Amino acid sequence: MTVARPPIAMLAELTHRCPLSCPYCSNPVDMALKDSELSTDAWKDVFVQAADIGVLQLHLSGGEPATRRDLEELVAAAREAGLYTNLITSGIGLTERRLEALDRAGLDHIQLSLQGTTPEMADEIGGYRGGYDRKMQVAAWIGKIGFPLTLNAVLHRRNLHQLPRALEMAVEMGARRIEVATVQFHGWALQNRDALMPTREQAEEATRIVTEARTRLKGTLVIDYVPADYHSDYPKRCMGGWGSTGLNVAPDGQVLPCHAAQSIPHLRFDTVGDRPLAEIWQHSDAFNAYRGTDWMPEPCASCERKTVDFGGCRCQAMALAGDPSATDPVCVKSPHHVDLQARAAAHAAAEAPLVYRGQPGRTVVEPVGE
Ligand code: SF4
Ligand code: FES
């Protein structure tokens, strides 16, 4: 068994409740209900335990974390535990007074999502009229208070042409960093592949724009880039490797190796009420299932990249190959790769309406090769 080093980061999904209903949402199709959410005290205890096992960075996420009325109290508790706190938010639900209170509580950083660079696009994708204007107001307050800011632009076929403007907006807002994240198809997003899959040409153009901007904006803006992986030849190193650097705590206290791990049916997850976090990190079956490289079948087992990408994403292997221990079908060495690329082209050529989070939608996803 691989001995786990301490985790660096923890994602605390405070709630699945959210005023937006983005079709690209990667939260599970079956969301945790409000009644099942951890209490304020339970979260505070989790933060202390996280700091004790070595976590340095706490990402407060959702859903929309601002829907938790105790957010300020949770931030203060996390800071008291010695954690660096990052709030991942759409901005909806934040007022100037609330941001000032978060500043007093010690919040270190804000990551603001961007659904589009125009009101028309942003409000259509978020499914929330007036959301863009509200977000711009929140961005102004963030700048006024002086929070370090990262902009998170989720891009797909409908809005990839707005990438140059998203980069300009990040500079105008005084963001230090932008995450240019081409949509990843997990959770709810899987049923929107016909509506959102970028074309290969769009994916290549995005890479060209990011490469040029990284040179032009060096010293002004750091650009993190998540490319369109269905059009790639090698998979992403998901979660930095399963159970290696980070953990997620779901709203109901289940401790997950990644935010989509519940899509792997044979895994059972401990909750923070069952066992101490340290024990879960070191010894739980779910964390040890794909930790390190011993679990790998061929072609990963003998591949020179096996400690570069750790076989890609387990949840994507589950969704696309029907087997969470398979090589991620994004990889050229996967027997499913050619089929996946054909699928990607077909999704990119398809026309489909957006299925918004919260709408009854299609939930059946066919594995590649079937
Ligand atoms: Fe990565 Fe496995 Fe592909 Fe090698 S075969 S590049 S380890 S996914
Ligand atoms: Fe679960 Fe990639 S999202 S391993």
Tokens, residue 35? 């009644």
Asked if residue 370 has pLDDT above 50, the reply is no
pTM over the 0.90 mark: yes
**Cβ of residue 326 lying under 6 Å from some atom of ligand 1:** no
- Tell me what the mean pLDDT of segment 32-54 comes to: 94
**Cβ of residue 186 lying under 6 Å from some atom of ligand 2:** yes
**Which has more pLDDT, 149 or 29?**
149
pLDDT value of residue 363: 37
Cα distances from 85 to residues 11, 45, 176, in angstroms, run 10, 16, 16
Relative to the CA of 258, which ligand 2 atom is closest?
A: 1
**Cβ of residue 313 lying under 6 Å from some atom of ligand 2:** yes
- As assigned by CATH, the class of the 7-229 domain is alpha beta
**Cβ of residue 66 lying under 6 Å from some atom of ligand 2:** no
Relative to the CA of 309, which ligand 1 atom is closest?
A: 1
Cα-to-centroid distance, 313 and ligand 2 (Å): 5
**Cβ of residue 238 lying under 6 Å from some atom of ligand 2:** yes
For the chain, how many helices (H) and strands (E)? 13, 9
Relative to the CA of 290, which ligand 2 atom is closest?
A: 4
Cα-to-centroid distance, 291 and ligand 2 (Å): 12
Residue 301 and residue 303: Cα distance in Å, rounded? 6
- Asked if the interface predicted TM-score (ipTM) of this complex is over 0.90, the answer is yes
Relative to the CA of 238, which ligand 2 atom is closest?
A: 2
CA quadruple 129, 133, 138, 139: dihedral positive or negative? positive
Asked if residue 52 has pLDDT above 50, the reply is yes
Testing ligand 2's pocket by substitution, the residue of 315, 328, 330 carrying the most ligand atoms inside 8 A of its CB is: 315
pLDDT value of residue 33: 76
pLDDT value of residue 29: 73
- What are 58-116's pLDDT values in tens digits? 999 989 999 999 999 999 999 999 999 999 999 999 999 999 999 999 999 999 999 99
Relative to the CA of 332, which ligand 1 atom is closest?
A: 3
Asked if residue 322 has pLDDT above 70, the reply is yes
Residue 57 and residue 50: Cα distance in Å, rounded? 9
Asked if residue 239 has pLDDT above 90, the reply is yes
pLDDT value of residue 4: 87
3-state secondary structure of 99: helix
The dihedral over CA atoms of 93, 95, 101, 106, expressed in degrees to the nearest 10, equals 70
Residues making up the annotated binding site are 18, 22, 25
pLDDT value of residue 2: 59
pLDDT value of residue 359: 54
Q: DSSP character for 328?
A: P
Q: Domain spans of the chain?
A: 7-229
Residues making up the annotated binding site for [4Fe-4S] cluster are 18, 22, 25
Asked if residue 321 has pLDDT above 70, the reply is yes
Cα-to-centroid distance, 234 and ligand 1 (Å): 7
pLDDT value of residue 1: 56
- What are 166-182's pLDDT values in tens digits? 999 999 999 999 999 99
Looking up tokens 């369109």 gives 228
Residue 283 and residue 264: Cα distance in Å, rounded? 18
Cα-to-centroid distance, 94 and ligand 1 (Å): 42
pLDDT value of residue 358: 76
